[in-house]
Structure 1
Amino acid sequence: MTSAKPSAPGKALLTPGDYDTLASFRYGVRRYLAFAEANARSVGLTSQQHQALLAIKARTATRPMSIGDLAAELLIKHHSTVELVGRLEKAGFTRRSVDVEDRRKVLVTLTRRGEKVLADLSVSNLRELRMIAPAFAGLLGQMDKLSGG
């Protein structure tokens, strides 16, 4: 069994209050994510599929979204993104097209059905975020006071 390494010279140790703040922040984030995941499941989407729809919507407001762009945005491999988009396309949420400027690229857009389900999820998620925002604001203020920084 290995022992814990001592902290680097000059770095303060965390206080019990610091750990409490970090734990509270993680709990708040996880609670919101659990809400958003359940919300996505209620319309037949996985959390990753919901995140993909959100990324596509955000990107395509200003420029096209390629499969590679989506993979980078979701922090997943290209081939996994191809499979993800295939499932979304089969469910009627996205459509693929070839980029007219670079025929090697496949672009992804939302269908009307994808737009509708994303809008409904987003309204609900924003409502939840507004409810928990005061708690997060307080926690973020406490983060500046942590001893470890």
Structure 2
Amino acid sequence: MLGKPQYVALSEFRFRLAQFLHFSEAAARAEGITPAQYLLLLHVQGFPGRAWATVGELAGRLQASHQGTAALVQRCERNGLVVKRRGRSDARCVEIRLTPRARSLVRRIARCHAQALAQMDVVFRAASSAGDSVTRPPRRNARNLD
């Protein structure tokens, strides 16, 4: 069961998370792009192992529909933030790549985010330790079940 200190820690975490999200949205708008555009650019820049991503992969990262993500990619393309390129090894694959302008935007906005996240380190630790004192029911051994 959770006690008061755990609820306090979880409440503080949710409060700080909401603050961070508002900060993130404002940082994107201050650079002249929407929060959704920033997230798409961030996910392309941060995609593991390569400098591009597909619409399907970005939809997964954004937790959005394929159609909605494709529309967001089109808006970013019209605004000169991404380019689409046929895959070199598989022509059926469309690679979404950042333009130099987009890489610069992501770098500036992410720098602000890194500073804000560093300030939240104490909150993350408190929230993750909130679950440490939760009493969990003992595991039942399958052989002991009747």
Structure 2: runs of 5 or more not aligned: 138-146
CA contact (8 A) 1:18 1:147 kept: no
Which segment is superposed worse, 51-60 or 136-145?
Answer: 136-145
Give the corresponding residue for 1:53.
41
Q: 1:12-51 maps to which residues of 2 (within 5 A)?
A: 12=1, 14-51=2-39
What is the alpha-carbon distance in structure 2 between the residues aligned to residue 63 and residue 112 of structure 1?
12
Cα distance, 1:28 vs structure 2 = 1.4
Which segment is superposed worse, 83-92 or 62-71?
Answer: 62-71
Give the corresponding residue for 1:78.
66
Using a 3 Å threshold, how does the CA distance of structure 1 residues 31 and 148 change in structure 2: closer, same or farther? farther
Report the 3-state secondary structure (helix = DSSP H, G, I; strand = E; otherwise coil) of the residue aligned with 1:59.
coil
What is the alpha-carbon distance in structure 1 between the residues aligned to residue 31 and residue 120 of structure 2?
23
What is the alpha-carbon distance in structure 2 between the residues aligned to residue 32 and residue 138 of structure 1?
16
Structure 1 residue aligned with 2:54, among 49, 66, 70? 66
Could you tell me the TM-score, scaled by structure 1's length?
0.81
Give the residue type in structure 2 aligned to 1:117.
Answer: L
Give the residue type in structure 2 aligned to 1:98.
Answer: R
Aligned length: 137
Percent identity over the alignment? 26
Find out whether 1:91 has 2:109 as its counterpart: no
CA contact (8 A) 2:9 2:123 kept: no
CA contact (8 A) 2:13 2:123 kept: no
Give the residue type in structure 1 aligned to 2:53.
Answer: M
What is the alpha-carbon distance in structure 2 between the residues aligned to residue 49 and residue 124 of structure 1?
16
Give the corresponding residue for 2:143.
none
Could you tell me the TM-score, scaled by structure 2's length?
0.82
Structure 1: runs of 5 or more not aligned: 1-11
CA contact (8 A) 1:97 1:107 kept: yes
CA contact (8 A) 2:28 2:38 kept: yes
Using a 3 Å threshold, how does the CA distance of structure 1 residues 63 and 38 change in structure 2: closer, same or farther? closer
Give the residue type in structure 2 aligned to 1:34.
Answer: H
Give the residue type in structure 2 aligned to 1:22.
Answer: L
CA contact (8 A) 2:5 2:130 kept: no
Give the residue type in structure 2 aligned to 1:29.
Answer: L
What is the alpha-carbon distance in structure 2 between the residues aligned to residue 72 and residue 90 of structure 1?
22
Cα distance, 1:51 vs structure 2 = 1.1
